[in-house]
Amino acid sequence: MDWIISQELVDYPHAVSEMERRVAGIRNGSMDEAVWLLEHPPLYTAGTSARAEDLLSPRFPVYDTGRGGQYTYHGPGQRVGYVILDLKKRQQSPDIKKYVWQLEEWVILSLAEFNVQGERRAGRVGIWVDLGNGQEAKIAALGVRVRHWVAFHGVSINVDPDLSHFNGIVPCGIKEHGVTSLAQLEKNVSLQDIDLALKKTFDTVGF
């Protein structure tokens, strides 16, 4: 299992090509599974369920991607975790729903390291936080693609991104709730801090 942390911003097409290369390597036995932690320059990605009307203002490059889900923003201050795992090796009976649940649990446990209560919401992808006064906001997104039972893509956690950059899309097709970040929740957390939490909690989840 390789843990890779990129210090520089990683272009999206390069990230996808590297994930594709790793998936092929896992399939032919030449490469290990990996978790790749990185930041992207500002961009939008469109999942397989993306609706054209949810792209409000394409102020940044827009990339079609094979992962599930709708429109997502990535940019500096957001920790992206690409998880490339052989589900056949890790699960007696490969189950994508179970794997998505595990990714959610990984984010929830990692946020708990900073006393942030991340929560699932029925019918809504991602991890949410209760802001009080009936308000809630999304703090992490998930998107998964599986090829020959090798999973790739993964999660993104808003540490301290420019939240105004989300205004160019309807994030994940959900208009009635906004997005938040650890910084907006007044948590002084660095990318390095979140990396340590993600590493610490990964084995706890039992992928």
Residues with active-site annotation: 172
Separation between Cα atoms, residue 63 and residue 65, nearest integer Å: 6
Q: Phi-psi category of 52—alpha, beta or left, where left has phi over 0 and alpha has psi -120 to 50?
A: alpha
How many other C-beta atoms lie within 10 A of the C-beta of residue 191? 19
Helix (H) or strand (E) holding 71: strand 71-74
Burial (0-12, 13-18, 19+ Cβ within 10 Å), 186:
exposed
Length of the chain: 207
Backbone phi, then psi, for 172, in 5-degree steps? 55, 25
193 token code pair: 């801090």
